[in-house]
Chains A and B, each alone.
Chain A
Amino acid sequence: MPPSIALRMNHALPAEHRDRLLRVAREAHFPQDTRLFEEGGHADRFWILRDGTAALDLHVPGRRAPVVETLGVGDLVGWSWLYEPYVWQLGARTETPVRAFEFDAVAVRLMCLNDPEFGRAVEHWVGRVLAHRLQAARTRLLDLYGPYGSGGVR
Chain B
Amino acid sequence: MAQATNGKMTKLLNTPLKVFTLYALVVLAGSIPAYYYIVNRIWLSEIDMHNKFVKRKIEKELNTIAINDTILAQNIRLWSHIEPGINLQPVAESTRKNDSRYTVMKSTVLHSKRLNRFRGLSSYLTINGKWYHLTVETNVEETDEVISNIAFVTIGFFILLVIGFIGLNQRISAKLWQPFYNTLNQIKTFDLSSRVPIAFEKTNIVEFEELNNSLQKLIDKNRATYQEQKEFTENASHELQTPLAIIQSKLDLLLQSKSLTANESEIIEAAHKALARTSRINKNLLLLSKIENQQFVDTEMMNVSQLVTDSLAFLAEHSETRNIVIEMRVEEYVYMEGNRILLEILINNLLMNAVRHNKDNGLIRVDFSKQGFIVANTGISNALNEASLFKRFSSSSSQTPGSGLGLAIVKQICSRYHWQIGYSFDNGFHTFSTSF
Q: Bound pair: A and B?
A: no
Q: Which residues of A contact B (CB under 8 A)?
A: none
Residues on B facing A (Cβ under 8 Å): none
